[in-house]
Structure 1
Amino acid sequence: MNPQLLRVTNRIIERSRETRSAYLARIEQAKTSTVHRSQLACGNLAHGFAACQPEDKASLKSMLRNNIAIITSYNDMLSAHQPYEHYPEIIRKALHEANAVGQVAGGVPAMCDGVTQGQDGMELSLLSREVIAMSAAVGLSHNMFDGALFLGVCDKIVPGLTMAALSFGHLPAVFVPSGPMASGLPNKEKVRIRQLYAEGKVDRMALLESEAASYHAPGTCTFYGTANTNQMVVEFMGMQLPGSSFVHPDSPLRDALTAAAARQVTRMTGNGNEWMPIGKMIDEKVVVNGIVALLATGGSTNHTMHLVAMARAAGIQINWDDFSDLSDVVPLMARLYPNGPADINHFQAAGGVPVLVRELLKAGLLHEDVNTVAGFGLSRYTLEPWLNNGELDWREGAEKSLDSNVIASFEQPFSHHGGTKVLSGNLGRAVMKTSAVPVRTR
Structure 2
Amino acid sequence: MASWLQIPKNSPFSLANIPFGIISARSASRAVAIAIGDYALNLNTFASSGGFAQLPEIQPHLSVFGQPTLNAFAALGRPVHRQVREYIQNVFRVDTPFPQVLKENAPLQKDALVPLSEVTNHVPMQIGDYTDFYAGLNHAYNVGVLFRGPDNALQPNYKHLPVAYHSRASSVVTSGTPIHRPNGQILANPTATPKVPAFSPCKRLDIELELAAFVSTPNDLGHPVSINNAEDHIFGVVLMNDWSARDIQAWEYVPLGPFNAKNFATTITPWVVLLDALEPFRSAGLEPGDRDSLLPYLREKRAANVYDIPLEVELTNEGGKSSVIAKSNAKNLLYSFPQMLAHHTITGCNMNPGDLLGSGTISGTEPGTQGSILEQTNGKNPIKLADGSERIFLEDGDTVVLRGMAGTEGNYVGFGDCVGKILPAIKLDI
Query: Quick check: TM above 0.5?
Result: no
Q: Which has the higher helix share?
A: 1
Q: Which has the higher strand share?
A: 2
TM-score range, shorter chain: under 0.3
| RCO higher in structure (CA 8 A, sep ≥6) | 2
TM-score (norm 2): 0.26
